[in-house]
Structure 1
Amino acid sequence: MQLETYISDLLYRYECVIVPEFGAFLTQRVSAKINADSNTFFPPKKAISFNEQIQQNDGLLAHYIADVEKIPFEIALEKIKKRVASMKSQLVEKENISLDNIGALALNSEGKITFEPSNHLNYLTDAFGLNQVVSPAIMREELKREVESIEKVIPLTITPERRKSRPYLRYAAIAVVALGISGFLGSKYYVNQIENHNQIAQETANTQLEHKIQEATFVIENPLPAVSLTVTKPVGNYHIIAGAFRVEENCDKIIANLKAEGFNARKIGVNKYGLHQVVYDSYENRKEALKALHDIRRNNNSDAWLLVKNLE
């Protein structure tokens, strides 16, 4: 009977397989390792050992043989007993016993069984498909010394430059970085120039409009009595935003509705996204602005928010 076949099958699933009246084959998980001398990578595995002291039958091996061969448990025990007797006889006669994919057994001068494990199979199922890998060593220092020895015999004027880092790559990298920085600064400068231009253009348009209004004259045959009105110009750096709109006509509708509700609504210009902003009102005092914002969020618009900006 090929007893080692059944032992090998059980070693995949169990950490201890006892051969009654002979000994036990044990497995222990070993982590992956690298042999620096041979440049070999070894995956994790189950290391196999043999303990002659563990001989009490636990029924595992016999039950497995009985299930595989479809025989009674007692007959399986008899087969194991015969195989054990044969192995002991071989060891007494100084013969080595080779168990395929498990290892080799021998009897030493002290009458003890020695075991040399086999590395042909990895019984760790987690490492299935992983094999040992050998990677040739990279002999950088030896190659460097070899090149230096050649240079002493055959001096080449271009050799030192080849051995150094390529300067044109360094210059190219510097140029790329410089272009990136200049592009960024240039784009930022361009954006600032556009913003300044837009602001100046807006201020100029407002000034011209005010002049035209001031210079306009109206001829009325039956003039009404003069009425003096005090107009309060909205001031302050704290603005409660009601919304921002792409179409300016929508702003006028919103302003009309808000004024009908009693707010001092107005437009405060276009934000950086090109949207026309409408405010409920502007305040000089932060506390007053926050109080008004709280009231508006509670009673009118929960999406209202506070913009802190100097519009002058």
Structure 2
Amino acid sequence: MQLETYISDLLYRYDCITVPEFGAFLTNRVSAKVHDSTHTFYPPKKVLSFNEQLQGNDGLLGNYIAEIEKIPYNTAIVKVSKQVKAIKSYLIQGETIQFKNIGELVLNAEGNIVFNPTNSINYLTTSFGLSHFTSVDVKRETHKHIVEAIEETTPLAFTPEKRSNTNWYKYAAAAVIVLGLGGYFGANYYNNSIETHNQLAQEEANVQLDAKVQEATFFISNPLPAATLSLEKQTGNYHIVAGAFRVEANVDKKIKQLRAKGYKARKIGTNRYGLHEVVYSSFETRTEAQNALYKIRREHNRDAWLLIKKLD
């Protein structure tokens, strides 16, 4: 499995790609800039970084791999875990891990992962097709001095007017100008008349439309009977967490799957990392929650855990 390929695909769409039990690749948008000395223009881009502290599974990478490889989600997570263990073993041996189109990973003397991002690819989709370029200086003052020098040295010669008997050209030109102006103002008057007519017709249509909307809004001949829904509201500060997701579409999908299995799944908000948390259910006492947690771990998800949190 080419893990770096899946990470690279997701970096175009998301700002944080977490690899469970390893770390997270983050992107930060940088505006376009100009290098002062080389006069090189650089387009906007995403700058990559790596945070070893973010190792929680948000479900984004696993769901993407499961969708691409047409395998179950749990199988995708197991494959990621195996490759992470292999990467860590290579790093401990002092090797440098190359992630194509992403960057290099290596351990420093303190045992921490150091990330050197690559500059060969821009993950900002709005800058697609843009590359850096260099522009030469525009030397306007040089041309100004040349013109001034030519004006000082070039003599000015005045030629007397030569009269002729072709004055009828002047009258013909004047007639053409008068006819042109008349046609121009006539066309403007015609266009303004049409525009005024269209505006009045549009205002009248708007008045009729407003009247129809009001009639449809306030005079309903056959109103539908009111429907009363009885919803069970979950309470309690003890929650069994099924997962945390960055994309809300994955949240809705997870809740639908759990409810289909009979759980009272719901979303309880976001954690400090900005991830949406989904729980199997909530309980009033710790004992009830612990008993339900043991059963869920035994029958459905061994990674489920208990969260104690007071909801607003």
TM-score of the superposition, structure 1-length normalised? 0.46
TM-score for the superposition, normalised by structure 2: 0.46
Give 1 or 2 for the bigger CA radius of gyration.
1
Higher relative contact order (CA 8 A, sep 6+): 2
